[in-house]
Amino acid sequence: MKLFVTILCILTICSSTVPVYGGWNSLGRVSSYEKQNDGIIISIPPALLSVSVLSPAVIRFHMTPSGSFQTDHSWAVVNTKLGDQKYTISETPDFITIKTSVISVTIMKNPCRILVHDGYGNLLNRDDSVKGMCWSGSDVRVWKTMPRDEQYFGFGEKAGSLGKKWKSFSMWNSDIPAYKADTDPLYQSIPFFYGIRKGLTYGIFLDNTYNTSFSMGKENSSCYSFGAVDGELNYYLIYGPKPVDVIQRFSRLTGTTPLPPKWALGYQQSRWSYYPEQRVRELGATFRNKKIPCDVIYLDIHYMNGYRCFTWDTVRFPNAAGMVKDLAADGFKIVPIIDPGIKNEKGYWVFDEGLLGDHFVRTPEGNPFVGKVWPGDCVFPDFTKINTRSWWGSLYRNLVDIGIAGFWNDMNEPSVFDSPTKTFPDDVMHDDEGRMTDHRKNHNIYGMQMVRATYEGLLKLRPNERPFVLTRANYAGGQRYAAAWTGDNISSWEHLEMAVPMCLNLSISGQSFVGTDIGGFIGNPSGELFARWLQLGIFTPFMRAHTVTGSKDKEPWSYGADFEAINRKSIELRYRLLPYIYTQFYLAERDGMPIMRPVFFDFPEDEETYWQENTFLFGNAFLVAPVLWEDDRQRDVRLPKGIWYDYWTGAKYDGPVSVTVDAPLERIPLFVKGGSIISERSVVQYIDERPLDTLILQIYPSDTSSTVIYEDDGKSFDYRRGIYKLRTVSVTSTDTGYKIRSGKPEGSYKPSARIIQLAVHDVPKSPSAVRLGKRELHEKSGEWKYESIHGIVTVYFPDRGDYFDLRVIK
């Protein structure tokens, strides 16, 4: 009886203090709070809210309506101590305020609402005063005030325009071939976005693996909201003030893409499917005969015996090991596809082993879940189980033993042909590392844990070799394991145009190693469309052409001799820029810098850039303006503040300025920011063909600037033990000339001896002297030359490995 009364009292207290809006229970009055080392836990009966400081700029908000927190676990977060976790706390009758050295979090007590300000008192983000944090049944959600002039970007893999205001999305990994600009959701879930307003940026990462959703002003023009169908409202607010600060902090939180093997930066050729063996061999030979550089050939599902993973169709591939070996000798890496669906068939070793080891997901009744994919009836590994991941990793052994270089994991949303939901039913159970939870919680991480199993398995099999894994599905943090491509697009101009904002948003969501199926997956592109797509592909970090089964040939030479020449040039440009591109990958691992990024990323004060979705930056030196429209032979482009040079003509512009440049079929409009130093090499047919014999430095001087150039062996993890070479090259332009210096490099890597060919652009007249250290260099003996048409001084000198000091005197 006593108990009953107590419960009744609690219920009445609760119902009287929990405001309800449109079916949502909202946080009411703060009753008390408790200090923790890294923040506070606030009690707002029946809910609890924890506010913790990960660093001065990163705050975690974590709300549970149930009155107790679940065991804390994240698949995405790798690091929660991101910096100084000190804060001060103050209290008034109406507010609790937590201050770090850069932001302050104000918690209104009644009702409980959050406001975040920067150190200058600018409002960064606030809960909507009506709803704020809410729950309804198992749903959790928060409503935030949406300022008129705030724009939103990110959200991982979303098609459509770059800016995401006025749109709504959900996160539920889905296999949707021939998706459109407004198809949502797609293959990957990265519940992370940026809000930016007058140059002031924050990021929000909702770390909840259930089906999450974001409504950016779709139902209400003054609010946006995000939430999940279950689990806790668990999100991180990441202060900038610049977009680059946000991505760097998000990257520390969720990890970065480790440097891939260098060959994975080369051109890659795929189709569904190249077979038999002879055709694969011929494909390789054609690249070499035609002198079109290429590093990787993909094997899609037809290489397997009846689509059984980890087997070969020995009729189509009578000598797979020999093929891999011969192609390797010719500089090709082979990347086969591996799907999660394992044929449900006694006697097939993977099935037998998996059953014995209890590696397959089960229905609530306890039977392995069976669904149809390519092999017919399949069972599916439970990648959320530690043992299953290591078992899966070990399955690659036979393929690795014959020299297979990397792997492509597809269908890992997971995609199931004959299920009404096109994936596992909601009640399929997952180990969830011992927590035993249903598919609703594990769906969005299934692909991520599959590529984790693959990546970690490869690490075990080849401990000092960088794995290369490509994936279609993923979750936040999955950039640690795999590169991503944007799935089954269409060979259309519309899809080419969509490719740019889609890759940009994915890239700034942490997945920097990204690209599309060049030429479009479904359909047959015209020669022009393929050529333009390939040109864009030079500037997507992942550069692979691919196409659906039954389509026409989609190789660089498939469209006649004129296009073949154009396509060769495009691929050659990619190889020429490799030293620069490799350095960008290094910065992506070290700092989380997205390689391909929107113009606003580097120019956040310039609000016009928020709308630029057909132009993008590639590293900090290039602005790329791809031609995305049929028959166009010119391109309009707006250049942001600063000096810009046309890479092709040397024309100089003083931004911000809108210009129209020629864009003949054979080239992609490309601009270099004044002050850039671009490292290039001579063209090779594949990355490891020969060591760099000439390091080309293209210098576009401004007053003073510097850049880094990163080198290592391109394949091992030795760079993590100091065996790399990071050089800083700086340029100063004065009245008397140019001073170009390379400081003492960092790291102990010793590249082979080579020549530096250093070109200084925009030099109005022939220099009076060129000096390397104390030594005068002579024009007559070919140590330097001046081309008056382009205003370029080129200097040649041996690279002694470290310090140099070069003066070009007016």
Residues with catalytic function = 410, 413, 488
- Going 117 to 121 to 122 to 123, the CA torsion angle's sign is positive
Q: What is the 3-state secondary structure (H, E, C) of 626-680?
A: CCCCCCCCEEEEEEEEEEEEECCCCCEEEEEEEEEEECCCCCCCEEEECCCEEEE
Smallest distance from ligand MIG to CB 180, Å: 16
Encoded tokens for 717:
């993890």
Residue 176: count of CB within 10 angstroms of its CB? 17
Which residue is it, tokens 């939180």?
253
Q: Retrieve residue 378's tokens.
A: 């399949």
User: CA-based angle 436:457:595, to the nearest 5?
Assistant: 100
Residue closer to ligand MIG, measured from CB, 95 or 310:
310
Residue 114, beta-bridge partner list:
107
Per the DSSP assignment, residues forming a β-bridge with 140 are: 135, 228
Q: How far is the CB of 488 from ligand MIG (least distance, A)?
A: 5
**472/574 with CB nearer ligand MIG:** 472
Tokens of 404: 């297979």
Distance between CA 800 and CA 416 in Å, rounded?
58
Rounded to 10 deg, the angle between the 561-576 and 527-538 helix axes is 0
d(CA 284, CA 295): 9
Amino acid at 657: V
Please report, as ranges, the residues that interact with ligand MIG according to CB under 6 A: 272, 300-301, 337, 410-411, 472, 487-488, 546
Say how far apart CA 676 and CA 698 lie, in whole Å. 8
Shortest spacing between CB 337 and ligand MIG, in angstroms: 6
Shortest separation between residue 567's beta carbon and ligand MIG, angstroms: 21
Structure tokens belonging to residue 801:
């490995």
Retrieve residue 605's tokens: 């004060």
State the chain's maximal CA–CA distance in angstroms. 106
CB closer to ligand MIG out of 273 and 676: 273
Grouping H, G, I as helix, E, B as strand and the rest as coil, residue 422 is: coil
- C-beta closer to ligand MIG: residue 241 or 340: 340
Closer Cβ to ligand MIG, 232 or 300, answer by number: 300
**CA 776 – CA 125 distance, rounded (Å):** 60
Of 301 and 668, CB closest to ligand MIG: 301
Token pair of 40, please? 């506070």
Which residue lies nearer to ligand MIG by CB, 146 or 448?
448
CB of 436 to ligand MIG, least distance (A): 30
Q: β-strand 192-197 against 223-228: which pairing, if any?
A: unpaired
Q: How far is the CB of 710 from ligand MIG (least distance, A)?
A: 31
CA distance 1 to 6: 9
Tell me how far CA of residue 111 lies from CA of 31, 38, 145, 173, 545, in angstroms.
10, 24, 15, 36, 55
Q: What is the 3-state secondary structure (H, E, C) of 36-66?
A: ECCEEEEEECCEEEEEEEEECCEEEEEEECC
The least distance separating ligand MIG from the CB of residue 47, rounded to whole angstroms, comes to 42
Tokens of 386: 């530690």
- Residue 773 burial (CB count, 10 A): 11
Cβ 384 to ligand MIG, closest distance in Å?
23
For the CB of residue 539, give the shortest distance to ligand MIG in the complex, in Å.
21
Cβ closer to ligand MIG: 281 or 546? 546
> What tokens were used for 679?
């490292």
Phi and psi at residue 590, to the nearest 5°: -70, -45
How many Cβ atoms from other residues are within 10 Å of residue 200's Cβ? 19
Residue 429's φ and ψ, nearest 5 degrees, are: -95, 145
- Whole-angstrom distance between the N-terminal and C-terminal Cα of the chain? 98
Helix (H) or strand (E) holding 453: helix 439-461
Cα separation, 384 vs 479, in Å, equals 17
SS3 content of the chain, % helix, strand, coil (to 5): 20, 35, 45
**What is the nearest approach in angstroms of ligand MIG to the Cβ of residue 399?**
16
Closest CA to 254 of 186, 191, 163: 191
The residue number with the shortest CB distance to ligand MIG is 272
Burial class (CB in 10 A: 0-12, 13-18, 19+), 259: buried
Q: Identify which of residues 118 and 410 has a Cβ nearer to ligand MIG in the complex.
A: 410
Half-sphere exposure of 187 (CA within 13 A, CB side): 27
Minimum Å distance from CB 274 to ligand MIG?
Answer: 11
Residue 261 is classified by DSSP as P
SS3 539: coil
Q: State the minimum distance, in angstroms, from the CB of residue 554 to ligand MIG.
A: 12
CA dihedral 335, 340, 341, 347 (to 10 degrees): 80
Structure tokens at 88: 């001060």
